[in-house]
A and B are shown apart, each in its own frame.
Chain A
Amino acid sequence: MTVKEPSMLKQKEMIARNYDRLTRAPQHGEKVVSTFVPGNLNELLLCFDVVSNLPEINALQNGMRKKTGNYILEAEKLGHSEDVCTYVKADVGMMAKGNLAPNGEPLPSPDLLLLSYTGCFTFMKWFELLREQYDCETVMLHVPYAGDGVITENMRSYVVKQIREVVIPALERISGKKFDIDRLREHLAESARAEDDLVRVLESARHRPSPIDAWFGGVYYIGPIFTAFRGTPDATEYYRLLRAEIEERVALGQGPITPDGEMGEQRYRLVVEGPPNWTHFREFWKLFYDEGAVVVASTYTKVGGLYDDGFRHDPSKPLETLADYCMGCYTNRNLPQRVDLLEKYMRDYDADGLLINSIKSCNSFSAGQLLMMRELEKRTGKPAAFIETDLVDPRYFSPANVKNRLDSYFQMIEQKRRNRPTAA
């Protein structure tokens, strides 16, 4: 990126520092816990001074560095089907190829696999597969799906019990540290502070022009809070900086900063459902900003928590709040809730249309998206488009195909807009 803002530099430094800490954990006698992004218990992990390793983040980092293509082929050589999730295969392939972190150092073997089973069936198989490799302790935290669109007391107490009676004892055992609930409260309070600022950042997209791209830029903004930093003063500081920068852009009437500098005229305001593609991230983004398309709200930036829906980590109910956090993540919500949320975004952010990026790997997101699209077209009267890519499998990103559809879609919005008043 051409312009390096303080928040961006800070995030870069945080991520680098964390990878360094992770790869040096064995030398420093620190324990490593692998866990997933959605519904992660970062505040709890912080209480035990363990280092967390998030396999999806490794996969996406490798995707952006164009390494996943080979990793996936490696995993398929090892017997994994072409049909299944490429995050898993990128991870399995990375292990087979030396398990190097983005800083070039080997990733340590985890001391604990914390299977936070939130919103994705594949997580379960993923860690069963890793367990076979690492042969280390594995803990399942089963987070029930909000099939009826509600979190019942039974669901909550089930998760709380698992945290209290399964997860915490395992962490105590691994780390040799006693659980301190007051420390947890402090981290939760820290989380809530950062969450407030994140929400202000995401909601800034209501402005015209939008000062942010809530998908391509959004994935950077959610980085710290979705991962190993939520609940730390580092994250709070990051979001304070970020919010100040965004507020300044709003005051100056500026648009988002893209890899090619500040975005020009904003001709299309889009709401996006689904994850992005990582292997062609910049090329993909360019297809949008070149045409003046800005994403004003996205659901992917809610997979690690739906803070703009009002949820905050609450230090007064430490375990319950963790449970509610897990169950409230976007992919743990049922389809009617997801449609409602998208409809709300379309209206609140005054969007011109809905774009669905359907990800081959991610059935949790993808199964049902065509019905969601239909429903949203019906409810909002706004045009929707459907494109297909993958997270980290370069074989599933066809630039010509994606461009073809996007261009058609943008031109369709434009044409409708121009013809609306005089349409025969």
Chain B
Amino acid sequence: MKCYVGIDLGSTTTKAVLIDAERRVLGRGITNSRSNYDTACRVAKLEAYVGARLSLFRRALGDEGGDFLDRLERAFRLVQFQEQLGELEATCRRNAAGPRFAGRERAVADALDAVFAALRTEAPALFEPGAARKSDFFRDLAGSLFMRHGDLVARDAGLDFDLLLHVYDKSIIEAENRVPSDDIKGKLRTAFERVGGTALGPAVQAALDVDFDEAYVVGTGYGRVRLPFSKEHIRSEILCHGLGAHLQYPGTRTVLDIGGQDTKAIQVDGAGIVENFQMNDRCAAGCGRYLGYIADEMNMGLHELGPMAMRSSKAVRINSTCTVFAGAELRDRLALGEKREDILAGLHRAIILRAMSILSRSGGVKDQFTFTGGVAKNEAAVRELRKLVRENYGDVAINIDPESIYTGALGAAEFARRAVEA
């Protein structure tokens, strides 16, 4: 099956989207961008292929496949997780050597046995139906488990936890920078067996037998110059974002994307062609990263900020979106006795105010308006945006796609398709 891949190499995450010749999305993949962009890009693509295979099953099974597919996917994720865990364990063992461990090799090896045994035991629970996972990235899942069990094991063994931590830190980077095996079909078969679907129907078998023919790849995103692609396979993120938003919502005329490191405002025409764009200036104030600092400062998870801000009835006026001053401003406000939710509401408003000025630079907000990027998932930010757009530009349809993080990759995939089909 002919397919086209778009890859968006962002500063924090790398996304891949796979589409077919009819421009239907087959699969999406996401991973953390890590230090090795090449790996990040291969992992994201691999994930997109997993998604693609699952959507072929979905097509094959139609409506009745719902529950089965859900179980299948979870089983697959577990297989994948276990494989990566094995990889991590082997790496840890290799790394638990050298002068630092002199005299304690045995103790460390025993501790690793205990920790990984616990991890393996706990792994299935992570992929139970309805299990709440903080993240889907292996690094985050394995990391938090390792911290928890490592600490306990070390304490029991009278071992310095830092020693285990050192092994882990070194190993996770190595393990992460190796691309996991791309034997998707093999892992899917294992997963099938686990969910008791040994006898594959002909439709599923056919879907499993389909070979993907990767006809063209286009890369985009901040790290695109570092992609191992030739120039004709690279498109600017602005173009990809504009086109991606157009594909998601054909009525789009203005796009706002707030990502980790930058904020973009893009004006597109009826065909998704970029007419104008502006990005935040050299100063990254008011980007997603700012919320990250705030979350750290408040000792909260990034995803908890929005809900807390929603509880505010009276936002505190925050004038600075400078990440450098964020912490000081926050402490100052708290010291003045302001409520956390009111401060957070003010911070969200401040970010959106920055975005409003970038939008204004690019030519304002036209109907329809599509909001993308990580911050588009934050309800408090969205609330402020809706308010300010209405106040300044009147009634404008505001689109937010739950998969908006893939907007750039989707545009890139479409550029890939056009390179061949058009």
Task: State the A residues within 8 Å of B (CB).
Answer: 360, 370, 374, 377, 383-384, 386, 388, 396, 398, 400-401, 403-405, 407-408, 411-412, 415-416, 419, 423-424
Contacts and interface: CB of A to CB of B under 8 A. Distances in A.
Nearest to B273: A419
Interface string B275-292: 111110110000000000
B320 interface: no
A408 B273 contact: no
Contacts of A403: 225
A400 B277 contact: no
Nearest to A403: B225
Contacts of A424: 270-271
B404 to A, nearest CB: 19
Contacts of B277: 408, 412
B282 A396 contact: yes
Contact of A408 (B239, B275, B282): B239
B269 interface: yes
A415 B239 CA distance: 9
A213 to B, nearest CB: 21
Given A383-B275, A423-B271, A424-B270, A407 B236 contact: yes
Nearest to B250: A424
Nearest to B241: A408
Nearest to B261: A401
B361 interface: yes
A411 B239 CA distance: 8
Contacts of A423: 269-271, 273
Nearest to B271: A424
10 contacts: A370-B361, A377-B363, A383-B275, A386-B278, A398-B282, A404-B236, A411-B238, A412-B275, A415-B273, A416-B273
A282 B236 CA distance: 22
Interface in B196-251: 222, 225, 235-239
A398 B281 CA distance: 11
A28 to B, nearest CB: 46
Given A383-B275, A404-B237, 12 more contacts: A377-B363, A384-B276, A386-B278, A388-B281, A398-B282, A400-B222, A404-B279, A407-B236, A408-B238, A415-B273, A416-B273, A424-B270
Closest 7 CB pairs of A and B: A408-B236, A408-B238, A424-B271, A412-B274, A411-B236, A407-B236, A419-B273
B413 to A, nearest CB: 16
Interface residues of B, number: 21
Nearest to A415: B273
Contacts, number: 54
B323 to A, nearest CB: 16
A358 to B, nearest CB: 8
Interface of B: 222, 225, 235-239, 269-271, 273-279, 281-282, 361, 363
Given A400-B222, A404-B237, A416 B282 contact: no
Contacts of B278: 386
A401 B282 contact: yes
Nearest to A290: B231
Contacts of A411: 235-236, 238-239
Contacts of B225: 400, 403
B360 to A, nearest CB: 9
Contacts of B361: 370, 374, 386
Contacts of A412: 236, 238-239, 274-275, 277
Contacts of A405: 279
Contacts of A407: 236
Contacts of B282: 360, 388, 396, 398, 401
A388 B235 CA distance: 22
Contacts of A404: 222, 236-237, 279
Nearest to A416: B273
A423 B273 CA distance: 9
A408 B271 contact: no
Nearest to A395: B282
Contacts of A370: 361
A410 B236 CA distance: 9
A350 to B, nearest CB: 20
A419 B237 CA distance: 18
A298 to B, nearest CB: 21
Given A396-B282, A424-B270, A408 B237 contact: yes
A405 B236 CA distance: 8
Please indicate which of the listed interface residues A396, A403, A412, A419 has the most CB atoms of chain B within 10 Å of its own CB: A412
A408 B257 CA distance: 15
Contacts of A377: 276, 363
A408 B236 CA distance: 5
Nearest to B238: A408
A284 to B, nearest CB: 15
Contacts of A374: 361
Contacts of B238: 408, 411-412
Contacts of A415: 239, 273-274
Contacts of A398: 282
Contacts of A383: 275-276
A407 B231 CA distance: 11
A416 B282 CA distance: 27
Contacts of B235: 411
